Structure 1
Amino acid sequence: MLRILIVLLLVIPTLEIWLFVKAGQGIGWIPTILFCILTGVGGAWLARQQGLRVFRMAQVQMSQGQLPGDAILDGICVFAGGLLLLTPGFLTDIFGFFLLFPGTRIIARRLLKSWLYRKIQTGQFRIFNFNRFS
């Protein structure tokens, strides 16, 4: 997992810089910078809206006596999508919007749920209780 993270930390910024250069050559540097600012502001607004929606969904589920499992996974996706949209770059913006729109977030939630399920089944996912008094 650490190797994958290191590779991503090297490859993604390199691709983002290459895309910035190509976009700057194609449409000019001012529209490229404005596009980055626009996606950051629009992404922050969308993340706020979707975050509030997920929070309300969790409240409704808990008031009905249900565990808010899907709402928690949606919250993780919205948080990650918001962070990706605040990061300058075209690839991160694409993945950020993918995680923020409810229609595509369902795919990410299913993938996250199946990944967690596999980790729990193989014993690679553990929950630690740091409360020594219980």
Structure 2
Amino acid sequence: MAVVILLYVVAEVAAVWAVSSAVGVLGTLGLLVAGAFLGSWLARREGARAARAFMTTARSGRSPVNEVTDGMLIGLGGLLIMVPGFLSDIAGLLMLLPPTRGVIRRAWVRRAERRMAMAGQSRVIVVDSEVVPDDKSHPVIEGR
């Protein structure tokens, strides 16, 4: 995990350096501030839309899985927009824009469904507050 964070910081510094070399320091600062303002406005707008969609879906009695997932992605996108740097701004904007958010949401839900299916395959038994795997390689200890 530390390596991933280090690689992210190096990539973010490289991106800021490259943009600064192309447009100058003031231009780079202007782009970062403009991205933060645009992102916060977009996060507020999309968050309100997601809240309205959630309420509509909940009132109709349908499962609001997509609306809840959209809300989480909008929150994460808004957080990434507030982190200084161009790479985090791009990732945040991708989560805030409805077409790309839909792609990210479908991938996230598919991954969650696969993980839940895998978790359902491995059963455990709790014996006197001790978790014991439910397979034949671990015999249940009797007399405890």
TM-score (norm 1): 0.86
* Paired position in structure 2 for 1:71: 67
What are structure 2's unaligned runs of at least 5 residues? 121-144
Q: What is the deviation of 1:22? A: 1.6
Give the count of matched residue pairs: 120
What are structure 1's unaligned runs of at least 5 residues? 125-134
**Alignment counterpart, residue 113 of structure 2, candidates 96, 99, 117:** 117
* Paired position in structure 1 for 2:100: 104
* Paired position in structure 1 for 2:130: none
Give the residue type in structure 1 aligned to 2:96: L
Does residue 6 of structure 1 match 2:2? yes
Aligned-pair identity in percent equals 29
* Paired position in structure 1 for 2:138: none
More strand by share: 2
- Root-mean-square deviation (CA), in Å? 1.1
Q: Distance in 2 between matches of 1:23 and 1:14?
A: 14
More helix by share: 1
Larger Rg: 2
Pairwise mapping of residues 42-53 of structure 1 onto structure 2 (< 5 A)?
Answer: 42-53=38-49
4+ aligned runs moved over 3 Å, structure 1: none
TM-score (norm 2): 0.80
Higher relative contact order (CA 8 A, sep 6+): 1
